[in-house]
Amino acid sequence: MNIHQQKILILDFGSQYTQLIARRIREAGVYCEIHHWSCPQSDFEAFAPMGVILSGSPESANLTDSPQVPDYILHSKLPILGICYGMQTLAEQLGGKVEGSHSSEFGYARIEVLGVDSLLSGLGHEVVENDHHYQDVWMSHGDKVTRLPPGFVCTAATDSAPLAAMMSSDGRIHALQFHPEVTHTKAGQQLLNRFVHEICGCERLWTPANIIEDAIATVRKQVGNDQVLLGLSGGVDSSVVAALLHRAIGDQLTCVFVDNGLLRLKEGDQVMEIFANNMGVKVIRANAEEAFLGKLAGISDPEAKRKVIGNTFIDIFDEEATKLGTVKWLAQGTIYPDVIESAASKHGTAHVIKSHHNVGGLPADMKMALVEPLRELFKDEVRRIGVALGLPAPMVNRHPFPGPGLGVRILGEVKKEYCDVLRRADAIFIEELHRHGWYDKVSQAFAVFVPVKSVGVVGDARRYAWVIALRAVETIDFMTARWAHLPYELLETVSNRIINEIREVSRVSYDISSKPPATIEWE
Ligand code: XMP
């Protein structure tokens, strides 16, 4: 079985939701890739999709230099689904009309489904009133289609967008002004399922079990009997690579785990317990706390700290790798969003907010070929296969943790004393989030060490000690984030526990800054 055979192409016009469309298609059990809207015909033919989805865009479709769907796609025989800008550019390119409106429509809308097409009719989640059928959807647009192209029928309407969806009379081209990919559109997943399964004819081949089987076969073929080296960090991606490669090639895999002293409470021991003790993976643990803290002494500039941490990591990893003799392959936990981001930077469309995120990556001059078994996967898919490979769910569902670790959560100079206090405070916060059922509701949560002393009274005694800040955010893409509205009782419990249990802390504060303008990490 070739799980890549039946697939969908997503043409990206620059919408913030493009990756979300791809994730929904994968959830429908169908492989898909995102390509830039200017995708050359040869790439398209080599990819050979069974259907095409056009994303939204911040652009306007009715300008002379607006991005367009290539003619060879428009005139192919494939089913096409245009979403938002995708609908508008279809309308413009095929002879209809798009106009800007004075007000943009953003948020929930109720569309009336006109019952004339195979995509929207009878999807479930419908509200029926006086024989009219409605769906709750999510709108986010300024421009809208004001005249259908010849040969198209209107399939849904709202008061503010009378042409809210359309279909070509042969049923090949469908287009929606709303966003089926966001969860606010109640029947969004059903709609996308219908498009890929019924209209494009793709089967549900993209499942965790099939992905694992395919990845194992690919890795075995790629590396043969060679040895493979992996830098294991304890993060989700490298952990899943370790579990996958261990399943594929067993003892040919050696992991190097660099304990930099900037990890969360007991993290190093947990990594060893899971991989070395339980799964029998060969893991070399380099205890390098002293080396890292030694190099960080006296350095307080955030960027300089990141560089020191990154370079020290490379030196230590290199040292351990050299001890193993010649190893031909280096495994990495690159995932699909990294691939998309680096492709976008070639097109000049990447959203680079912090360019230093790869600091802590591996030596550029290591002459090893790469094994990247997660290259096609989104984070949620990586998590699902992690669980299917037997990794503990709490590890696989952990919030992201930055490469430089606590190094960017201790403001200014990093000292062991600060790391120890921060680790304990962070563990209390995370434990209480779990206990109150909030851990999975926030995207990332952690404590920050603020090296400022503040006065407090604990019992009868005056305490002059450090400040801990708590940070919890909700985000889809980590590019923008909202501070999480945690319940006061939860914050109160965390604050009391931290101050009572950690003598070195006299005050706890909660960070209520959103991103932008603040970033998620404090440094
Ligand atoms: P910021 O602070 O830029 O964080 O809003 C966005 C996401 O990126 C993570 N982050 C990093 N990850 N190396 C990493 O591997 C870094 O230097 C780094 N800085 C931030 C951060 O934890 C959040 O998830």
Determine the distance separating the centroid of ligand 1 and the alpha carbon of 72, expressed in angstroms: 40
**478 touches 20 (CB < 8 A):** no
Q: How far apart are CA 75 and CA 78, in angstroms?
A: 8
**177 touches 143 (CB < 8 A):** no
Res. 352: pLDDT tops 60: no
Q: How far apart are CA 390 and CA 384, in angstroms?
A: 10
Mean pLDDT, residues 188-210 taken together: 98
- Closest-CA residue, ligand 1 atom 22, reads 402
DSSP-derived secondary structure letter, 398? P
Determine the distance separating the centroid of ligand 1 and the alpha carbon of 62, expressed in angstroms: 38
- Closest-CA residue, ligand 1 atom 8, reads 402
Q: Which residues are catalytic?
A: 84, 179, 181
Determine the distance separating the centroid of ligand 1 and the alpha carbon of 337, expressed in angstroms: 14
**144 touches 85 (CB < 8 A):** no
Q: What is the pLDDT of residue 181?
A: 95
Residue with tokens 């709750």, as numbered in its chain: 136
Q: How far apart are CA 508 and CA 90, in angstroms?
A: 54
Q: What is the pLDDT of residue 348?
A: 65
Mean pLDDT, residues 483-487 taken together: 98
Which one of 200-209, 354-363, 392-401 scores highest in mean pLDDT?
A: 200-209
Nearest-5° Cα angle at 456, 450 to 458: 120
Q: Which residues line ligand 1 (CB under 6 A)?
A: 306, 353-354, 356-357, 359-360, 400, 402-404, 408, 444, 478, 515, 519-521
Specify the ligand 1 atom closest to the Cα of 522.
Answer: 2
Distance of CA 514 to the CA centre of its chain: 19
pLDDT digits (tens, 9 = 90+) for 375-412: 999 999 999 999 999 999 999 999 999 999 999 999 99
Specify the ligand 1 atom closest to the Cα of 443.
Answer: 24
Average pLDDT, the chain: 93
pLDDT band at 106 (very low <50, low <70, confident <90, very high): confident
Of 357, 359, 379, 519, which is best to mutate to test ligand 1, by the most ligand atoms within 8 angstroms of its C-beta? 357
pLDDT digits (tens, 9 = 90+) for 267-308: 999 999 999 999 999 999 999 999 999 999 999 999 999 999
Specify the ligand 1 atom closest to the Cα of 521.
Answer: 2
> Is cis: bond before 451, omega within 30 of 0?
no
- Of 90-104, 156-170, 490-504, least confident by mean pLDDT is 90-104
Strands 132-141 and 127-129: antiparallel
Mean pLDDT, residues 220-242 taken together: 95
Q: Assign 3-state DSSP to the chain and report helix, strand, coil percentages, each to 5.
A: 35, 25, 40
Q: What is the pLDDT of residue 363?
A: 59
Determine the distance separating the centroid of ligand 1 and the alpha carbon of 412, expressed in angstroms: 17
* Higher local confidence (pLDDT), 227 or 359: 227
H, E, C per residue of 235-273? CHHHHHHHHHHHHHHHHHEEEEEEECCCCCCCHHHHHHH
pLDDT digits (tens, 9 = 90+) for 62-94: 999 999 999 999 999 999 999 999 999 999 999
Determine the distance separating the centroid of ligand 1 and the alpha carbon of 201, expressed in angstroms: 40
- Closest-CA residue, ligand 1 atom 17, reads 357
Determine the distance separating the centroid of ligand 1 and the alpha carbon of 8, expressed in angstroms: 31
Specify the ligand 1 atom closest to the Cα of 401.
Answer: 22
Of 263, 353, 354, 515, which is best to mutate to test ligand 1, by the most ligand atoms within 8 angstroms of its C-beta? 354
Q: How far apart are CA 88 and CA 96, in angstroms?
A: 9
**Percent of the chain, pLDDT > 70?**
96
Which element (helix H / strand E) includes 214? helix 208-223
Cβ of 379: how many Cβ atoms within 10 Å? 15
Res. 359: pLDDT tops 70: no
- Name the residue among 309, 467, 274, 324 with its Cα closest to residue 402: 309
Res. 183: pLDDT tops 90: no
- Closest-CA residue, ligand 1 atom 10, reads 402
Q: What is the pLDDT of residue 65?
A: 94
Res. 356: pLDDT tops 70: no
